[in-house]
């Protein structure tokens, strides 16, 4: 017996590897944006004045939540911001999932969901995707204490049509349905237009992918008054000052630079569509991606070998040693130049 018996034992989420010197590798393993953030956001970094350090920041990050709310046409009172969507989602798990019935999420999805469920002792049940890795909406008609789906899903990259998302929300009026839209800007359909219709819906998005700001840690959610109230009550029970000044100021600048945001997304989508063709030419099965990454499996060579051989050549991709997806790789869409290096490396490896 000792203090160690009282320490929390939990198998944590394992993020993708962040190499010490990023300039030495082609980093296609954590779905970051290969292009820089808006120059307008970068400018702010150099212009922060002293009182931005000395004083606590506003607890509601009001300037940022107002800018986000205005951009998406949602009332500010129905907007919540947090330290990346991981923070928003973790808060939402505590705020929204307090039933004895299990929450539901797909068997193949963002691998943080089961970690939060374990951490907060929320009962959960995974719902298998079909053989094509698609969400089957009817499977979410069973009894549950809440639902969380990533749409487009990760790591599968597949988008669930909005009418199917609505089917799940509509048929579960007694549960909060969280739709995690981390990748929606690359070709998915947001559930934001459904917010006025369903009080049990929460939509979560992030600046980490489409706005190239993973390092600033900005995420946000939209939901009904009751849900936002619960979110704030939980937040103020843990840490009132989640958003620091630079994040707020840079976030506002990024939201205001719509032109750059749209142009960056268009570039990534174009590179992605080219990548689909290049990979299929090399005998990969490529799932239909509406994200900034591709989920691929080679017809002959095992994913783990490809993962290791690419890493040896300085190209980082993601692999999970998990049921159903063990022979897949998740490859973030990089710049055209980075992708060219990927195809060259694959040609060498596949020729062996």
Binding residue (CB under 6 A) for ligand PMP from 38, 85, 144, 297: 85
CB atoms within 10 A of CB 322: 12
Q: Count Cβ atoms within 10 A of the Cβ of residue 309 and give its class: 0-12 exposed, 13-18 middle, 19 or more buried.
A: middle
Find the shortest distance in angstroms from Cβ 218 to ligand PMP: 7
Least separation in angstroms between CB 29 and ligand PMP: 11
Segment contacting ligand PMP (CB under 6 A): 37-45, 84-92, 236-244, 297-305? 84-92
Residue-level length of the chain: 352
Nearer CB in complex with ligand PMP: 211/298: 211
219 counts as binding ligand PMP under rule CB under 6 A: yes
SS3 labels along the chain:
CCHHHHCCCCCCCCCCCCCCCHHHCEECCCCCCCCCCCHHHHHHHCCCCCHHHHCCCCCCCHHHHHHHHHHHCCCHHHEEEECHHHHHHHHHHHHHCCCCCCEEEECCCCCCHHHHHHHCCCCEEEECCCCCCCCCHHHHHCCCCCEEEECCCCCCCCCCCHHHHHHHHHCCCCCCEEEECCCHHHCCCCCHHHCCCCCCEEEEEECCCCCCCHHHCCEEEEECHHHHHHHHHHHCCCCCCCCCHHHHHHHHHHHHCHHHHHHHHHHHHHHHHHHHHHHHHCCEEECCCCCCEEEEEECCCCHHHHHHHHHHCCEECECCCCCCCCCCEEEECCCHHHHHHHHHHHHHHHHC
84: contact with ligand PMP by CB under 6 A: yes
In whole angstroms, how close is the CB of 207 to ligand PMP at the nearest point? 7
| Stretch of 81-89, 186-194, 279-287, 330-338 contacting ligand PMP, by CB under 6 A | 81-89
Residue with smaller CB distance to ligand PMP, 214 or 350: 214
Question: Of the two residues 206 and 244, which places its CB atom closer to ligand PMP in the complex?
Answer: 206
**Per rule CB under 6 A, is residue 291 in the interface with ligand PMP?**
no
Residue closest to ligand PMP, measured at CB: 84
Q: Is 180 in the site for ligand PMP (CB under 6 A)?
A: yes
Is residue 182 involved in binding ligand PMP (CB under 6 A)? yes
CB of 180 to ligand PMP, least distance (A): 5
Candidate list 33, 208, 297, 332; residue touching ligand PMP; CB under 6 A: 208
Please give the torsion angle defined by the CA atoms of residues 234, 237, 241 and 242, in that order, rounded to the nearest 10 degrees: -40
CB of 349 to ligand PMP, least distance (A): 26
The answer to the question of residue 154 lying near ligand PMP (CB under 6 A) is yes
Q: Is 214 in the site for ligand PMP (CB under 6 A)?
A: yes
CB nearer to ligand PMP: give 331 or 345: 331
Nearer to ligand PMP, 60 or 180 (CB): 180
Min. distance of Cβ 49 from ligand PMP in angstroms?
Answer: 27
Q: Which is nearer to ligand PMP, 27 or 298 (CB)?
A: 27
**Please, which residue, 61 or 349, has the CB nearer to ligand PMP?**
61
Q: Cα–Cα distances in Å, from 163 out to 136, 152, 187?
A: 12, 14, 16
Whole-number minimum distance, CB 19 to ligand PMP, in Å? 17
Binding site for ligand PMP (CB under 6 A): 84-86, 110, 150, 154, 180, 182, 206, 208, 214, 219
């Amino acid at each position: 017996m000792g203090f160690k018996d009282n320490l929390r034992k939990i198998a944590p989420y394992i993020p993708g590897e962040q190499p010490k010197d990023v300039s030495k590798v082609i980093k296609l393993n954590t779905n970051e944006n290969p292009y820089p953030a808006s120059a307008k956001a970068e400018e702010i970094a150099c212009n922060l004045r002293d009182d931005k350090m000395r004083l606590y920041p506003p607890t509601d990050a009001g300037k940022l939540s107002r800018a986000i709310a205005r951009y998406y046409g949602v009332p500010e009172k129905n907007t919540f911001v947090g330290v990346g969507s991981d923070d928003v989602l973790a808060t939402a798990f505590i705020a929204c999932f307090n039933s004895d019935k299990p929450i539901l999420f797909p068997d193949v999805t963002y691998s943080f969901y089961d970690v939060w469920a374990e951490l907060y002792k929320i009962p959960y049940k995974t719902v298998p995707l079909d053989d094509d890795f698609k969400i089957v909406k009817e499977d979410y008609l069973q009894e549950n204490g809440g639902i969380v789906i990533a749409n487009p899903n990760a790591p599968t990259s597949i988008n669930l049509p909005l009418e199917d998302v609505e089917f799940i929300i509509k048929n579960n009026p007694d549960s909060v349905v969280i739709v995690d839209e981390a990748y929606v800007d690359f070709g998915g359909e947001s559930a934001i237009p459904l917010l006025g219709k369903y009080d049990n819906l929460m939509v979560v998005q992030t600046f980490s992918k489409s706005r190239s700001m993973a390092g600033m840690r900005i995420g946000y959610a939209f939901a009904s008054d009751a849900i936002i109230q619960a979110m704030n009550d939980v937040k103020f029970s843990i840490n009132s000052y989640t958003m620091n000044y630079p994040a707020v100021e840079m976030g506002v600048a990024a939201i205001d630079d719509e032109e750059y945001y749209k142009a960056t997304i268009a570039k990534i989508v174009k590179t992605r569509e080219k990548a689909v063709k290049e990979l299929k030419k090399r005998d990969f099965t490529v799932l239909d991606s509406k994200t900034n990454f591709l989920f691929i499996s080679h017809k002959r060579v095992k994913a783990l070998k490809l993962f290791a051989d690419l890493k040896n050549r300085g190209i980082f991709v993601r692999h999970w040693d998990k049921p159903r997806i063990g022979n897949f790789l998740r490859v973030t869409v990089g710049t055209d130049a980075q992708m060219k290096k990927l195809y060259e490396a694959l040609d060498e490896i596949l020729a062996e």
